[in-house]
Structure 1
Amino acid sequence: MNANYTLRDEIRDYWSARAATFDEQVGHEIFSEGEREAWRALFLRHLGPGEGRRALDLASGTGVISHLLHGLGFDVTGLDWSEAMLKQARMKAARTGADIRFVMGDAERTLEAPGSYDVLVTRHLVWTLVDPKAAFREWHSLLRPGGRLLVVDGDSVSDTLARRMIRLVERLVPGLAGAPHAPSAMRETHERILKRVYFSNGARAQEVASLLRDAGFAQTAIDRNLKPIHREQAKNLPLLKGLERATQHRYAVVAVKASA
């Protein structure tokens, strides 16, 4: 492999390769109004209504979260470093007539102006970070005083009792888990990346919150009540996949920048 080809490059290319089918998967796209309402409730609980405030959707992918924020009245920018993802996001915004700004950028080094956003949101990004300490400092700098960061993530790495039981049932009754999310080559790439990122042992809520405080956030709070979202997602998942999702360590962390 090219010595100049970094882990960041591999992560970018992995998600670019998945862009065309990204919205086909539960947990990426939203497939019911019930799930959409559950996401809105989460955002309203921690961010409040948009009212024209500026929001940055970090690692926006195909723009699913950007559209949710836009629907709540935020002035939204979606940032992603995969051109393939941005192409999908821009086409989706054009179809719906949503006035969302999509820009190319690395979520760990955004190049956005300091103090230019009221709200930052990330979904399923933190576990991929190479240097979360630097990323969290960057995100803190992007917020205005009193601004809020909402991290939605989880630990799908740790081997829990529930996961071991699910694997046993799957061996006894093949097919209950449904088809894998990605072809085997993609899964191998995913596993290779996972071994090298900061949270290779799983992104746990307490550690994420602690790192956010170290980065300068004045206060943090952990919200583990994502069950309304997971219940709706489970309706579109095979039985074992739905059970696994419900038993994983998934959470939201809200972090607030001190007021001036």
Structure 2
Amino acid sequence: MNSNYTLRDEIRDYWSLRAPTFDEQVGHEIFSEAERQAWRDLVLRHLGPGEGRRALDLASGTGVISHLLHGVGFDVTGLDWSEAMLNQARTKAAKRGADIRFVMGDAERTLEKPESYDVLVTRHLVWTLVDPKAAFREWHSLLKPGGRLLIVDGDFVSETLVKRMIRFVEKLVPGLAGASHAPNAMRETHERILRRVYFSKGARAQEVAALLHEAGFAQTIIDRDLTQIHRQQAKNLPLLKGLERATQHRYAVLAVKAPT
């Protein structure tokens, strides 16, 4: 492999390959108005209404979270490092008539103007970060004084009783637990990446919150009440996969920058 080809490059290329089918998967796109409302409730609970405020959706993918933020009134920029994801996002926004700015950039090194956003949001990004300490310092710098960062993520790595049960059932009755959307080569790439990221052992909420404090955030709040989101997602998942989602360590972390 080219010695100049970094782990960040591999992560970007992996998600670029996932772009064509990204919106087909539960947990990526939103498949019901009830789930959409559950996401809105989470956003409003921690960020408040968006009128007159600027939001940056980090690693925006096809723009799912960008559209949620836009829907509650934020002036939204979506940032992603994958041209394939950005193409999907721009097409979706054009179809919906949503005035969302999408730009190419590395979420760990955004090149956006310091203190230019009221809120930052990430969904399922932190667990893939190569250098979260540097990323969190960068995100802190992008927020205006008093600005808010909302992270929605989870530990998708650690063993649980339910995960072991699903593997056991899958051996007995192949396919019962729900087939993976990713071909074998993609799964292997995913596992190879996971072994090398910072949170290779799983991104736990308390560790994420501690690193946010270290990066300069004045306050953090861990919210584990994502029940309504998971309940709606489970309606579009095989039974065992829905149970796994509900029992994983998934959470939101709100981090607040000190006011001046």
Q: Same fold (TM over 0.5)?
A: yes
Aligned twin of 1:214: 214
Counterpart check, 1:69 vs 2:69: yes
What is the aligned length? 260
Cα distance between partner residues in 2 of 1:213 and 1:123: 19
Cα distance between partner residues in 2 of 1:168 and 1:192: 24
**Secondary structure at the residue paired with 1:93?**
helix
Aligned twin of 2:113: 113
2:169–2:177 CA contact under 8 A, matched in 1: no
Deviation at 1:49, TM superposition (A): 0.5
Aligned twin of 1:25: 25
Deviation at 1:173, TM superposition (A): 2.5
Deviation at 1:88, TM superposition (A): 0.2
Aligned twin of 2:43: 43
Counterpart check, 1:245 vs 2:242: no
Query: Aligned runs of 1:147-226 on 2, under 5 Å?
Result: 147-226=147-226
Cα distance between partner residues in 1 of 2:176 and 2:238: 7
Cα distance between partner residues in 1 of 2:162 and 2:151: 25
C-alpha offsets along residues 206-228 of structure 1, whole Å, 9 cap, x if unaligned? 00000000000000010000010
Aligned twin of 1:135: 135
C-alpha offsets along residues 179-211 of structure 1, whole Å, 9 cap, x if unaligned? 102111000000000000000000000000000
**Secondary structure at the residue paired with 1:65?**
helix
Deviation at 1:177, TM superposition (A): 1.4
C-alpha offsets along residues 142-195 of structure 1, whole Å, 9 cap, x if unaligned? 000000000000001001122112211222232221110211100000000000
Deviation at 1:111, TM superposition (A): 0.1
2:148–2:256 CA contact under 8 A, matched in 1: yes
Letter in 1 for 2:234: A
Where does structure 1 lack aligned partners over 5 or more consecutive residues? none
**Secondary structure at the residue paired with 1:87?**
helix
2:217–2:258 CA contact under 8 A, matched in 1: yes
Cα distance between partner residues in 2 of 1:177 and 1:77: 37
**Secondary structure at the residue paired with 1:165?**
helix
Cα distance between partner residues in 2 of 1:52 and 1:62: 24
TM-score normalised to structure 1 length: 0.99
**Secondary structure at the residue paired with 1:202?**
coil
Cα distance between partner residues in 2 of 1:63 and 1:7: 24
TM-score normalised to structure 2 length: 0.99
Aligned twin of 1:100: 100
Deviation at 1:52, TM superposition (A): 2.2
Cα distance between partner residues in 2 of 1:64 and 1:216: 28
Where does structure 2 lack aligned partners over 5 or more consecutive residues? none
**Secondary structure at the residue paired with 2:57?**
strand
**Secondary structure at the residue paired with 1:5?**
coil
Q: CA RMSD in A?
A: 0.6
